[in-house]
Amino acid sequence: MVRFLYMYIKFSDTGSQKSNFKSERPESFGKKQRGLWPRLWLAGASLLFATTSYSQLAANAYSFLDVSTATHALALGGNAIALSSPDPMLVDQNPGLLGSEIGRVAALSYMRYFGSSNFAAARYAQGVGERGAFAIGVRYLDYGSIDGYNPDGSFTGTFKPQDIAVEGTYSHDFSDRLRGGINAKLIYSNYEEYTAVALAADLGINYYDEEKDLSLSAVIKNAGGQVKRFNEAYDHLPFDVQLGYMQGLGGGPFSLAITAHNLTHWKLPYYDHSQNENASSDVEEAEYKFIPTFFRHLTFGLQYAPSDRFYLALGYNYKTRSDMSSYQRNFLSGFSVGLGLNVKDFAIGVSFSQPHKSASSLGINLYYYL
């Protein structure tokens, strides 16, 4: 993706507290506060949606924003916006998941991404009073060394493209079950001599019924735009609207998670090679079918958590699997797995996926609860 974006820029420029894995919400509070905050949240959501939805079908240069820094979410298919857990890394999934029950926690994330890419992040979160919380963080993506060329094919040298996002999050409880939050992002990108700056925000809301072990969420992601372009061309952010559901099964240790994503447009094109792998024919867009298209909007996760200090998670993302049909996918394409362990003041999470037989992704999260 970065190699393609770099060449696109080149060509266009020539012409121009202690942790548990389950969340516990604080008690309810006065009706006056309950009414004000939901109205403010809805007003902000409407404004952001109206000002960015026009760009939903456009290509964007900020796909790294779609990659979660939370191994717990990655293990559940990459999207888990209804995962109610005191995990500060989950704010990039849904800022409405952050709550005062988190206490104070510092977290680090590292992921060996596809190829020679490295994804790192750090975040600090803290509760504010009985019904608020904030978090600050940074995430960094290094794509490794890439050879640069001019449009005429002449070699310009080797460079390392980088993306950096600095984030600030605030959440507030509307009631003992309903919570909303906002995550603001300042994004800086450096691709050889080209740089760009963008501003974005996520708005999220979560309803959690502890008695029924039911969590429901809605998120508007990456609403915003560029304030400094790479060149004359304008690159859009990966704006998205998502809905999430997570339910404990039968009062036991298993939970089912389902997230619907890319809800601002229905068709998500993908491409198929010829049946003959050795053929040199052009890649063609796959034929549209309702059922495959429907499931390309969904990710599924199954979690086994026998206690608040351990979980094992499995995820399936059909979009990832079908996207890899253009390449050499394997049986594991679209599947992900992970686990988490909490011991006293420390916690660790690990995730693994292999969408392509020659490319895998391994992520690690480390937490210290102050």
What structural domains does the chain harbor? Answer: 2-369 (2.40.160.40)
- Residue 275, judged by CB atoms within 10 A of its CB (0-12, 13-18, 19+), counts as exposed
Q: What is the dihedral of CA 37, 236, 232, 156, to 10 degrees?
A: 120
Q: To the nearest whole number, what is the mean pLDDT of the chain?
A: 82
Range 40-64 average pLDDT: 50
pLDDT tens digits along 142-166: 888 888 777 888 887 888 889 999 9
Band (pLDDT 50/70/90 cuts) for residue 268 is confident
Asked if residue 260 has pLDDT above 80, the reply is yes
Asked if residue 58 has pLDDT above 60, the reply is no
pLDDT tens digits along 171-192: 999 999 999 999 999 999 998 7
| pLDDT, position 278 | 47
Band (pLDDT 50/70/90 cuts) for residue 51 is very low
- Between 14 and 173, the more confident residue is 173
Phi, psi of 188 (to 5 degrees): -120, 130
pLDDT tens digits along 34-44: 454 444 444 44
- Which of 7-11, 29-33, 95-99 is most confident? 95-99
Assign 3-class secondary structure to the chain: CHHHHHHHHHHHHHCCCCCCCCCCCCCCCCHHHHHHHHHHHHHHHHHHHHHHHHHCCCCECCHHHHCCCCHHHHHCCCCCCCCCCCCHHHHHCCHHHCCHHHCEEEEEEEEECCCCCEEEEEEEEEEECCCEEEEEEEEEEECCCEEEECCCCCEEEEECCEEEEEEEEEEEECCCCEEEEEEEEEEEEEECCEEEEEEEEEEEEEEEECCCCEEEEEEEEEEEEEEECCCCCCCECCCEEEEEEEEECCCCCEEEEEEECCCCCCCCCCEECCCCCCCCCCCEECCCCHHHHHHCCEEEEEEEEEECCEEEEEEEEHHHHHHHHHCCCCCCCCEEEEEEEEECCEEEEEEEEEEECCEEEEEEEEEEEC
Band (pLDDT 50/70/90 cuts) for residue 360 is confident
| pLDDT, position 286 | 63
Of the candidate ranges 28-32, 103-107, 323-327, the one whose mean pLDDT is the lowest: 28-32
Asked if residue 28 has pLDDT above 50, the reply is no
| pLDDT, position 283 | 53
Asked if residue 31 has pLDDT above 70, the reply is no
- Between 230 and 323, the more confident residue is 230
| pLDDT, position 54 | 37
| pLDDT, position 46 | 44
Of the candidate ranges 86-95, 157-166, 282-291, 343-352, the one whose mean pLDDT is the lowest: 282-291
Asked if residue 279 has pLDDT above 60, the reply is no
Band (pLDDT 50/70/90 cuts) for residue 203 is very high
Asked if residue 292 has pLDDT above 90, the reply is no
Contact (Cβ atoms closer than 8 angstroms) between residue 38 and residue 180: yes
| pLDDT, position 282 | 53
Range 111-121 average pLDDT: 85
| pLDDT, position 357 | 66
